[in-house]
Structure 1
Amino acid sequence: MNLGLVIVEVCSRNAVNTPALEQFEAEHPEIAVMYEECLNNCELCALRPFAYVNGKTATAPTAEGCIERIKKLAGRELRIYEDIDSDI
């Protein structure tokens, strides 16, 4: 598990919980994926893949699409840190 700048929370029973998500986490040490027993959003969880990225909801009709949205949201979150580094 990475302890990164971006936290991705995933219900352990949700469809987005795939090897592709594990691979994404392994490739990005700045991102930590937290596998929770329940995220208390069972209605959405039952309908489609979803995750929280620093508290923002990422969802899509497929697990692959959801992972792409997770990547986009994580990239936006990480840009904050890039701006700080460019000022030094």
Structure 2
Amino acid sequence: MTTQTLTFAAARSRAHGPAAALWHAVEVHRAPADLDGACELTVCGTLARVTTEAHWPVSGVDVCSACTAASQRFHVEPGPPPGRGPRSISGR
């Protein structure tokens, strides 16, 4: 059996009209230093600004339900402390 490993970073979207700003998951394909502050396409298809100050999954009520559902099939492994890059996620 093979295990799929993905790395996700947390990203914050902007508020648009009645929609609040939410935390989203971004699948990372390059070094965390290249992502800090960059606008990326999230797992759910939204554009959001990546931050290395928070890790996915982000706890709170302002988290994208589509990104949460899409990433629930992956197991979160311990990652570096905030500010040290994204966490590594492994498929079950």
Between Structure 1 and Structure 2, the one with more strand by share is: 2
What is the TM-score with the length of structure 1 in the denominator? 0.28
Between Structure 1 and Structure 2, the one with more helix by share is: 1
What is the TM-score with the length of structure 2 in the denominator? 0.27
